Chains A and B, each alone.
Chain A
């Protein structure tokens, strides 16, 4: 009995049982591996399927009913166009809201209420934002079903709370001694924000915004809600062009009966999407590392 209760033996310095220690360690390791291994298996599977399909022709051709001629270019360009528009919309709005909440707003009930709701909005399902985009941008503002602008505005709403929250965190991380130094020199609030707070918070704001864009690029449900076409053959050439996006095109291909689509072409699309996503995230990490050395 004494051995597995972990009690110290009578002589005081004998070996204490580590059974539970070891058991818990293995449990924690298993929990870690379940996630990592299944993700790795998925990626490997997709990558193997994509071999022979992901080539220059796939990246530069428009979609085609023949899987051997099907290409991804309109969806790829569409995604990037939507992404750029989202960045243009969310960056000023997100930074503006964050500056207001952190630097200007009094710490009253209203501010806390707004704050709480921004956090809640970050958790609202994307399909709900799709519905909002449909009603607001397509219906009320009449900017057209499935256009670049409608898609960008809708997804911008979706990631705006994330951008605001991360920008707020970056602004909050600016040491108060820096603000004091600026105010002590007779700077106004705006001068302090522009010259001291924003430059110092900018790497964090950029990182947060880019990571949020990474989330935006995978969104499918809002695009379906605003009736973006799953398959587009030409490239978007105006804000009001009908546009498709990578996840939407992949979703469409997956429903085709031919196994060449279901495995080869879909896999090539998934790998392309992941590469773009990882590139975006890497840029965020590079920005963070480059500026974080100075504190």
Chain B
């Protein structure tokens, strides 16, 4: 199954932080995909990506190369197409009847809009966290195990997988004694971390986040932000956010979409916030509009 092939090529335990430590345990082969330092290996790549909702164009000729195991922030004013872009990556836009996608979006080199790509299989490799926390009205355990269940990965020790996911989502300590309580009994911030645990439990390659902290208070937001930075050690994270400070704090790369669904600038986050190429981007970032 392609599942195995694709994951094996990116289980290299590289840190995206400076000075890549070569001293891994040797469990994974590092022969493929660009040698030892794969910090900037492109995992997601859009080419001339256009999206229309009926007659209306939501994305216009987007070209972008999103690196593996880094946090890429997508910012821009309301209606600029940033959520649309995110939902193209795991083909959630397929669920919108009027949506039409042109161009290419490559995931690990494969155009996900090719006829032989099953969007359901694609979504099993690309997890998603939504704007408002949407846990199921099930127990915490069943929420986290949901992906394992629907993906047929619920053989073996589900409980251990659930605990690992909760641990990674920095939620285990708080809920350890109440795994059978309803996910709806948690606070908003905990619910969102539960949704993150749910997304990472089946061990996807990419995690898409659509303004994951916009419905949360500042304390919960800062917990989510810390968590996102940690997640980038193992996952490629693409996060849409309204909040420019948040993008500046947590992301390695930033993509700025402006009105008309146009990707105006994409670069290292420091560069975007300190010295953007485009005047329009500077205006947006300094708050002159948007």
Q: Closest A-chain residue to B97, C-beta based?
A: A107
- Tell me the B155-188 residues at the A interface (CB within 8 Å): 182, 184
Q: Which of B62-70, B119-127, B227-235 contacts A (4 or more CB under 8 A)?
A: B119-127
Known A-B contacts A181-B134, A183-B95, A185-B202; the reply to A195 vs B127 at CB < 8 A is no
Known A-B contacts A196-B136, A294-B137; the reply to A185 vs B90 at CB < 8 A is no
Closest approach, in angstroms, between the C-beta of B184 and any C-beta of chain A? 6
- Are B120 and A186 touching (Cβ within 8 A)? yes
- Chain A contributes a number of interface residues (CB within 8 A of B) equal to 20
Interface string of A167-211 (1 = CB under 8 A from B): 000000001011011111111100100011001100000000000
- Are B120 and A178 touching (Cβ within 8 A)? no
- Are A180 and B136 touching (Cβ within 8 A)? no
- Are B120 and A294 touching (Cβ within 8 A)? no
Interface string of B121-160 (1 = CB under 8 A from A): 1111101101010111100000000110111000000000
For the A-B complex, the count of residue pairs with Cβ-Cβ distances under 8 Å equals 69
Q: Closest A-chain residue to B185, C-beta based?
A: A294
- Are A184 and B92 touching (Cβ within 8 A)? yes
- Are B123 and A184 touching (Cβ within 8 A)? yes
Known A-B contacts A195-B150, A294-B182; the reply to A184 vs B202 at CB < 8 A is no
Closest approach, in angstroms, between the C-beta of B182 and any C-beta of chain A? 7
Q: Closest B-chain residue to A184, C-beta based?
A: B128
- Chain B contributes a number of interface residues (CB within 8 A of A) equal to 29
- Are B198 and A185 touching (Cβ within 8 A)? yes
Closest approach, in angstroms, between the C-beta of A195 and any C-beta of chain B? 7
Mostly helix, strand, loop or mixed at chain A's interface? helix
- Are B136 and A183 touching (Cβ within 8 A)? no
Interface string of B183-214 (1 = CB under 8 A from A): 01000000000010011001000000000000
In the bound complex, residues from chain A placing their C-beta under 8 Å from that of B136 are 178, 181-182, 195-196
- Tell me the A146-160 residues at the B interface (CB within 8 Å): none
Q: Closest A-chain residue to B143, C-beta based?
A: A181
Contact among A106, A177, A183, A195 with B132 in the assembled complex (CB-CB below 8 Å)? A177
Give complex CA distance A34, B169 in Å: 62
In the bound complex, residues from chain B placing their C-beta under 8 Å from that of A183 are 92, 95, 120, 123
Q: A185-B127, A185-B202, A187-B146 provided; 7 other pairs, C-beta below 8 A?
A: A107-B97, A180-B95, A183-B123, A185-B199, A186-B122, A186-B124, A294-B182
Sampled A-B contacts (8; CB under 8 Å): A107-B97, A177-B132, A178-B134, A181-B136, A183-B123, A185-B127, A186-B147, A195-B146
CB-based closest 10 A-B pairs: A186-B124, A184-B128, A186-B123, A187-B150, A177-B134, A185-B147, A181-B134, A191-B150, A188-B120, A294-B137
- Which residues of B are in contact with A by a Cβ distance under 8 Å? 90, 92, 95, 97, 120-125, 127-128, 130, 132, 134-137, 146-147, 149-151, 182, 184, 195, 198-199, 202
